[in-house]
Chain A
Amino acid sequence: MKKLVIYFTMLLLIAPMLFAITLLDTREILVNTQVPVFGTITLNPISQSANEGMPFDITAADVDWDSSAYDSKSGRHIANWSLEANMLLASLEINATPLTNTTDYSQSLDYFLFFYYTYYVNGNTSSGPSTGVFEVHSGNESCRITLSDGPYYSFNKNINFMFDEDAAPANMSDGSYVATLTITLTEGI
């Protein structure tokens, strides 16, 4: 019985110290693991003018397939996009449906979209941002772009449009053509 009382008394003395150690660990873990995350994607279509915007004539030269224009990722400037996200790893799920005649769904054309963006090499902001570009081809399935060097702040950069090499807009019927572009930003890759 005497031993039991001694053990119990020792336990009561040690318990507050253990609790203090636990609290210390708590603080350390919270500081190191809490990262508030935010992200925003913005699309701004451009209204039609002589050299850019929508709607555009599908037989115009600036949207027609051209290998040199494809290499330089030019095409027609139809919209701007912005990306702001403070996450380190991010993914863009991009879906661009084929450009389809609004009255005859059998008539559709595939195309490329060139997305321009700015970034800092290795996150170093001491020098000006670099410019990059990635391309997305239209289709029924989404294209996934992974980003692994956040944070990302790219504002109001071009989205350029160009038909792919199989498209034959001259053979299409008269009428209006529409497609839908959807971009989803998620954290992680």
Chain B
Amino acid sequence: MRKLLTLAILILVSISFVSAVDDSSVASMEISAYKDTGEQQTLPGKILKIEPLLSEVLYSSKYTPYDITSSASINNGTASLSNVMRITMGANTKANFSVDVEFTPFISAENGSKIPATYTFTTTADAKAAYQPGNSDPYSGTKSNRTQYQYEYTPSISITGSNVSGSSISVPVSGTQITILWKVNSARRRQRTGNRIRWSNWGNYSNYSLSNISEGATLEGVNSEEYYPVASATFNLSVSSFSSMDPNVDYIATIRVTVSGN
């Protein structure tokens, strides 16, 4: 009998260790510097910002894990979360860029049991203008020999992975990993030359080389307002499979982001 009890305890302890989340997180950034180039310096080539927006909720709630059941609207077993995370790519970043994202299933804070989930992402991507380097503030006096370009590009995001179907991601109890691919679909350009203080009309999209966008982008202040040639995307999350969850129990799901751009 003692052997039987010992065996049962060993099995249960083993299961407990297996079901604990072996968590890890990776963050990376580029440090950029220069010496006497005499030119407008570009931002770091891979500058990236990954903001787990929900972490602010974690912080403000004094160490209480984000309560998905109270903060999200639950209707018929589906919960929606806004502004889950925002990923920003910066100036001089190559036009195409990928980010690996790993999802865990929902894990019960009470007993560690895992519940498979279906995430549905909606993403918003926005672009801001990039400026050709080498020109000073165009509003400070007259300069006859200069041409300044302004670029605007439209990024899009596609998600790929073995558990991806459209914008839905099925997360089994073992977790899953997807790849988010940023792609600059098209770009357009306008310019001003010499003493002109007005920009010309925008050219058509797709009328300018994307490689020039990524290589020529720089940070420049115009009218005291800084324009960052960045594209950012905010992820909103909709989660189903709530029907098997206990509304009185906290659940934790983790999204890990690994930057692996080129």
Binding site for B on A (CB under 8 A): 18, 21-22, 25-26, 29-31, 33-45, 47-48, 54-59, 63, 78-79, 81-82, 84-87, 96, 99, 125, 151, 153, 155, 161, 169, 172-187
| A167 CA to B226 CA, complexed, in Å | 33
Task: Please determine whether A187 and B23 come into contact, CB atoms closer than 8 angstroms.
Answer: yes
Known: A26-B8, A84-B55, A84-B58. A178 touches B31 (CB 8 A): yes
The reply to whether the CB of B116 lies closer than 8 angstroms to some CB of chain A is no
Which of chain A's residues have a CB closer than 8 A to the CB of B37?
174-176
Q: A-B pairs with the 6 shortest C-beta distances?
A: A34-B112, A33-B16, A55-B32, A179-B31, A41-B27, A177-B33
Does more than half of chain B's interface fall in helix, strand or loop, or is it mixed? Answer: mixed
Task: Please determine whether B29 and A45 come into contact, CB atoms closer than 8 angstroms.
Answer: yes
Report which of A30, A40, A57, A175 forms a contact with B52, defined as CB distance below 8 A.
A40
| A172 CA to B49 CA, complexed, in Å | 30
The closest CB in chain A to the CB of B221 belongs to A49
Task: Please determine whether B58 and A34 come into contact, CB atoms closer than 8 angstroms.
Answer: no
The closest CB in chain B to the CB of A85 belongs to B23
| A31 CA to B9 CA, complexed, in Å | 13
Q: A54-B43, A59-B36 are in contact. List 20 more A-B contacts (CB 8 A).
A: A22-B5, A25-B12, A26-B12, A34-B16, A36-B21, A38-B254, A40-B55, A41-B25, A45-B47, A48-B43, A54-B32, A54-B44, A84-B55, A85-B25, A153-B63, A176-B33, A178-B30, A178-B44, A181-B29, A182-B26
Binding site for A on B (CB under 8 A): 1, 4-5, 8-9, 12-13, 16-17, 19-37, 41-45, 47, 49-52, 55, 58-59, 62-63, 65, 90, 107-112, 219, 226, 228, 252, 254, 256
Does more than half of chain A's interface fall in helix, strand or loop, or is it mixed? Answer: strand
Which of chain A's residues have a CB closer than 8 A to the CB of B24?
39, 184-187
Which of chain B's residues have a CB closer than 8 A to the CB of A55?
32-34, 41-44
List, sorted by A's number, 13 A–B pairs whose CB atoms are closer than 8 Å: A21-B5, A25-B12, A31-B110, A38-B252, A43-B28, A44-B51, A45-B29, A47-B43, A47-B228, A55-B43, A153-B58, A153-B59, A185-B24
